Amino acid sequence: MDKKLKIALVFGTRPEAIKMCPLVKKLKENPNFKIITIVTAQHRQMLDSVLDLFEITPDYDLNLMKPNQDLWNLSSEIILKTKEVFDKETPDLVLVHGDTTTASMSAISAFYSRIKIGHVEAGLRTFDKDYPFPEELNRVIVDEISDLMFAPTDRAVNNLKLNSKKGIYKTGNTVIDALLYVVKNKKTSLDFIGLKSDLKTILLTSHRRENFGKPLENICLAIKDLVEKYDDIQVVYPMHLNPNVQNTARPILENIERVKLIEPLDYVPFCNLMKKSHIILTDSGGIQEEAPALGIPVLVLRDETERPEAIEFGGVKLAGTNKENIVKEVSLLLDSNQEYDKMSKSINPYGDGRACEYIEKIILEYFKIS
């Protein structure tokens, strides 16, 4: 190609930013590319901290976050606002990430504009369109209309091959690129949390829509039981700002000794908190990939996961949202060094920290740039 390849990267949530910012920085190093960053700000405050960390100033900030926004308004706004940018910039390739509303609606907008689409973290599946909701359908839609699919694992590749699609590549996950960079180069103090060095730290994160209500209540009741059962543990819960989380968790956990309810953490302190944790309980997708790279056992507070590789390799286990089962699985790890070592010493299947490098090479080859 005689001119630079114009690549637009669109993201809007903190998890997307964590996984896309290393790719933005990597692609910007290549003189063959003109990079355009577009953020929807589906998560405003949590997104900005990651942009600051990676020293990225978006070319377009759509600033779409509104209090208690619903999927209908958000979806339509993303399609309309990205269309304006695509019409102005006419990129050759649009890269989106994962399974968010930002990813699916930006991909649809690019498809309507007849722009090539690349899906970072393609091929994840539970094969249940209602679980997780709406993420499962989001990623299926993006994969269906993408020209380039960057799958993190062999299983993700095989999921994509079920539809006999072309343009499938195994790259590993860019989240490992980000994580290894941060824990090596961005150490920070956690003194503000008030952790006691003689206690084992259990990190809890839970914010998914399907866990709102009774499931989250069960999770919090399990935490209460565990703290009463074990006097050598402390629990840290960085709580999502969503009222559905706050209004369920606070009445149960707010005044319990050795349970620390804190505001959402920026990425750097969160990575450092993960590294200091003894066990992680989460319904997050990204943490299922990150924690095994740090040797931390993960219990997933969901009945299904689109990331079964770490389960197969032994570093992650499904605990669900049943109170008794959560208590049972955590107790097993606290009571048995053998069970703990089995999980903490498992192999991480999500890559070697060079996913961005592999994606760059694939794009160059696809567009025949030497």
**Band (304; pLDDT cuts 50, 70, 90):** confident
- Report the distance separating Cα 202 and Cα 302, nearest Å: 17
What three-state secondary structure class fits 291? Answer: helix
* Alpha carbon distance 67, 90 (integer Å): 32
207 is catalytic: yes
CA gap 197, 188 in Å, rounded? 16
191 annotated active-site: no
Active site residue 121: yes
Residue 100 pLDDT > 90: yes
- Say which of 119, 208, 240, 302 is annotated catalytic: 240
Backbone angles phi, psi at 7, to 5 degrees: -120, 125
The range of the structural domain enclosing residue 140 comes to: 5-173+351-366
On the question of pLDDT at 2 being above 70, the answer is no
Phi, psi of 300 (to 5 degrees): -90, 125
Closest CA to 320 of 311, 331, 329, 332: 329
Full DSSP string of 155-173: HHHHHHHTTT-S-EEE---
SS3 percent helix, strand, coil of the chain, rounded to 5, is 50, 15, 35
On whether residue 181 sits in a domain, the answer given is no
d(CA 271, CA 295): 13
Question: For residue 113, what is the domain's CATH number?
Answer: 3.40.50.2000
- Let me know if 99 is a catalytic residue: yes
Catalytic residue, candidates 16, 92, 99, 289: 99
* Catalytic hit among 135, 177, 266, 283: 135
Mean pLDDT of the chain: 94
Domain count, the chain: 2
Least confident piece of the model among 22-31, 115-124, 180-189: 180-189
- Verify that 233 and 153 share a domain, yes or no: no
Residue type for position 176 = I
Return the structure tokens found at 132: 């997780």
Gap between the Cα atoms of 144 and 165, Å rounded: 8
Give the whole-angstrom CA distance, residue 75 versus residue 68.
14
Q: Is residue 248 part of a domain?
A: yes
- Residues 217 and 339 occupy one common structural domain: yes
Catalytic one among 209, 250, 339, 354? 209
Task: Please compute the mean of the pLDDT values over residues 250-262 and round it to a whole number.
Answer: 96
Which residues are CB-neighbours of 262 under 8 A, at least 6 positions away? 193, 236, 237, 238, 239
- 206-239 pLDDT per residue, tens: 988 889 999 999 999 999 999 999 999 999 999 9
Among residues 16, 77, 92, 121, which one is catalytic? 121
Cβ neighbours of 243 (radius 10 Å): 11
Same domain, 124 and 12: yes
Rounded average pLDDT over 186-208: 94
